[in-house]
Amino acid sequence: MPTYCYETESGVSLEKVFPIGKAPKSVVHEGKVAKRSFLMESVGVPPKTGWPITCYASGVNAEQAGELRDHLRREGVPTEVTRDGDPVYRNAKHRRKALKARGMVDKSSYV
């Protein structure tokens, strides 16, 4: 059964388990009404916060930084590349496109 998130007006958050389609819009917790929080339930994988990221794993030698930048621009995925040759991805979609343009796949990226 899935877990649903609720939050009171004072900011207390809690999780409740209900069958699919049976979660109420609000629950009572210690005498206070807690409303369902769709924001708390919409955690993204990869996370929606923490962007942009500098990716050392998909970086190149510092001497090839300009070459990587130009290649990604030609492929339609303009990407900032640091002096050290590490690409800076703006978000998960940008990262996925840039890796694909280079023929790479991150099997642990959940996408």
Q: How many domains does the chain have?
A: 2
Q: Is residue 37 part of a domain?
A: yes
Q: Is residue 111 part of a domain?
A: no
Please provide the average confidence, as pLDDT, over all residues in the chain.
88
Residues 69 and 33 in one domain: no
Describe the strand order of the beta sheet including 26-29 as a list of residue ranges: 13-17, 3-8, 32-36, 26-29
Q: Is residue 90 part of a domain?
A: yes
Residues 29 and 61 in one domain: no
DSSP state of 32: E
Per the listing, tokens 């979660």 go with 23
Q: Is residue 58 part of a domain?
A: yes
| % of the chain beyond a pLDDT of 70 | 91
User: What would the pLDDT profile of 37-48 be if each residue is shown by its tens digit?
Assistant: 888 887 655 556
The 3 state secondary structure assigned to 48-103 is CCCCCEECCCCCCCHHHHHHHHHHHHHCCCCCEECCCCCEEECCHHHHHHHHHHCC
**101 or 47, higher pLDDT:** 101
Q: pTM to 2 decimals?
A: 0.56
Give the pLDDT mean for 85-89.
96
Side-chain-facing half-sphere of 82: CA atoms under 13 Å: 15
Task: With CA atoms as reference, report the closest residue to 59 among 86, 84, 77, 78.
Answer: 86
Residues 59 and 37 in one domain: no
Domain residue limits at 7: 3-41
